[in-house]
Amino acid sequence: MDPQVHPDPFHEAMSRGLQRAIQVASSSVTGAQVLVHLRKAQARLMAQRDEHVRRALGAQIHADRGAARAEWALALNAGWLQNADLASVARSWGAAIPHVDPLSPWYELTAGTAMRRCEERLRVLHPYAMRHYERLRGEGKAPADAMREAAPFFGYAPHTRDAPHAPRPALSTGAADSFADHRPADRKSPAAGATRPWEHDFPAGIRDVVATASAQRSNAAAAASPGRRRPRRTGQRP
């Protein structure tokens, strides 16, 4: 009989997180690559003098824009967007990105609307990663660059929270000596006034603890030994 093989939940969670990060990163990189392709195609179109070649290049650009429009137009459907998973939303977002700049010749108004709606859906699906995306956008990053840098955070759990960090000032040698001088007498040396230093507040130096334990053993030994020898009974062998 073959032994049962149980799935490793930690391995599965890591695999799903890695898959999410790759999906988002791929969508952002694809959007950036399409934008570069559009710029090069537009430059060739403007530099081309042959009318037939110009028409062919224009038709190719129009076909590429139509394919991208079909992808981001899904995000304009509220019913589709409400049920779309992270990978599908990321693809629609990546398809809209090259067409959201109003100054570009391939700008489309609906692309900007689709991008914003995709981002709203991504905030619901993964608020932790989107907080980093918004932080990067606030720093002046372009949408594709900000999403690419935020992609690794999609590998974490969606509702992960960063622990607050408050740096502590370093304690100099002089400050440490001053603290020791102003420490109360009962905390300077627990061995001096207490026989059980572990019942009192620490820090207590290891030397104090050892000294206290040694004093306890000495006192116990002195109490157990007789103060003077008992007289020998007569008739007993020496």
The rounded mean pLDDT for the chain is 77
The set of residues, in sequence order, having a beta carbon less than 8 Å from that of 4 and lying 6+ positions away, is: none
Question: Are the C-beta atoms of 114 and 92 separated by less than 8 Å?
Answer: yes
- pLDDT given at position 141: 93
Question: Are the C-beta atoms of 119 and 137 separated by less than 8 Å?
Answer: no
Ramachandran angles phi, psi of 69, nearest 5° = -60, -40
Q: What is the pLDDT of residues 73-126, one digit of tens each?
A: 999 999 999 999 999 999 999 999 999 988 888 889 999 999 999 999 999 999
- pLDDT given at position 180: 54
68 dihedral zone (left: phi>0; alpha: psi -120 to 50; beta): alpha
* Banded pLDDT at 41 (limits 50, 70, 90): confident
Between 143 and 169, where is the model more confident?
A: 143
d(CA 194, CA 213): 11
Report CA torsion sign: 125, 127, 131, 132.
Answer: negative
| Mean pLDDT (whole number) for 141-156 | 92
Whether 57 has a pLDDT exceeding 70, the answer reads yes
Element (DSSP H or E) covering residue 219 = helix 206-224
Secondary structure class of 100 (helix, strand, coil): coil
130 dihedral zone (left: phi>0; alpha: psi -120 to 50; beta): alpha
Whether 229 has a pLDDT exceeding 90, the answer reads no
Of residues 73, 41, 74, the one with CA closest to residue 58: 41
| Mean pLDDT (whole number) for 59-85 | 90
* Banded pLDDT at 33 (limits 50, 70, 90): confident
Quote the pTM value. 0.61
220 dihedral zone (left: phi>0; alpha: psi -120 to 50; beta): alpha
Whether 188 has a pLDDT exceeding 50, the answer reads no
- pLDDT given at position 215: 72
SS3 content of the chain, % helix, strand, coil (to 5): 70, 0, 30
d(CA 65, CA 92): 13
Range picked from 91-95, 164-168, 177-181 for highest mean pLDDT: 91-95
Q: State the maximum Cα–Cα separation within the chain, in Å, rounded to a whole number.
A: 142
Asked which of 141-155, 181-195, 213-227 is least confident by mean pLDDT, the reply is 181-195
